[in-house]
Structure 1
Amino acid sequence: MKIVMLNGQNHKGSTYHVGKLLIDGIAAEKQVAEFFLPRDLNHFCLGCYSCIEDETKCPYYTEKNAIMADFEQADLLVITTPNYCMAPSAPMKAFLDLNFTNWLSHKPKEFMFSKKAVVISTTSGMGANKAIKPVAISLSYWGISSIKKYGVAVQAMNWESVSQDKKAKIQKDIQKILKSLSGDAKPKVTLKTKFLFSIFSGMQKANMGSSKTEKKYWEAKGWLGKERPWKKKWQPKKKSYSSL
């Protein structure tokens, strides 16, 4: 199994450790690529719309593409972000903003429809689920149907201070998520995803997209007709990972 772990902070805090518990619990042979924000992508979207016309024209394309190239390879995406003021961390929100063209309403990528994802957040008190929600929404609108969410209040400022009882409960919860992730079968594309795709296809046909370039993108893919990204057998480009 190929896994990408994208962390919404540079330090290895409670949220990171919960994500690692999940990855370490996967029994299958795995290859893991890890990224930390803002270390690996320290920019905010400028709103210049250069990416709508050509994604390589984004001023931060090189750093962004280094992450997305690994996303393309992955079977599972593990996204972690601590709760910052009832929201994802600023670097995580910036990452989502910088990839807004992946939304179904713009230029969705075929490989997203075959991914599984887990979004994890911890907080000392309240707000973990509020931090998870914007991330899960973006992933859903990228075309990912299988998204597991796990938020937990750890009542501590760091992993070392989390009580053993709390860690035991977290471990038990993680085991439940692992059971739901077992198996090599590709996730099924939900009716919701298919419905949204159909809506946005109609918008592109009616010239209601952000740019003529978007419509040309959809036309080239055959998506304004009967072709659908989840029906085509997609093969990722070869890329080496670190085996764990």
Structure 2
Amino acid sequence: MPWAATAKTALLLAAGGEFAFIVVGLAVAKDIVASDTGAIVLAITALSMAMIPLLDLIGKHIGERFAEPQEPRPALTELPPQEGVEAIIVGCGRVGRLVSEMLTLHDIKHILIESDPAAVTRCRQKGLPVYFGDATNAQFLKRCGIILAKGVVVTINKPSVVEKIITTVRALREKILIVARVRDAEHARILYKLGVSDAVPETIEASLQVTEATLVGLGVPTGPVIASI
């Protein structure tokens, strides 16, 4: 069992429980335990139960302090390529994966950016070129090849984060293609003011619309795009 879980479990089990009130109460009633002794035991039990939240925090602190350092997962430490990337997809959820699939079909070199470590690991296992990082960080975007890329596709479903990403990308590249998934028309208006090229509302076919807008914006002829979608 990990150190954190061991320490927390030990401290939480040290506290008394409701069953003590029943047992001690019966013992006092049957004259097995003196009433004064029973009162002290019940007071200690009640105090220990009141301290459970504090014991939980102490256990967590002890576990984190003495836990053995874990080696970072390779998928989270690998750096993205700085050159040769035509498109950057932010998010490797359902929409992001479909956009990646279509870009691969049309031989457009791309990478995906994801801030969720578990999602990065899952997508890497599926063979996707996904890298762990923060798409609102200008330096990280530069490391991903934003300066030479032709387009950025934002597929995540977090409006405030999407706005930060678009603002950061537009500050780095004034004329780069930016296609974004949006929640509704009002959010689309906000993103257009921030400089998004295409804002695609969330519908059943949202991922296909995002893909179509991206491929056409990257220079793929409309005919082949429609045929593949």
TM-score (norm 1): 0.37
Larger RCO (CA within 8 A; separation ≥ 6): 1
- Structure number with higher helix proportion: 2
TM-score (norm 2): 0.39
Q: Which has the larger radius of gyration?
A: 2
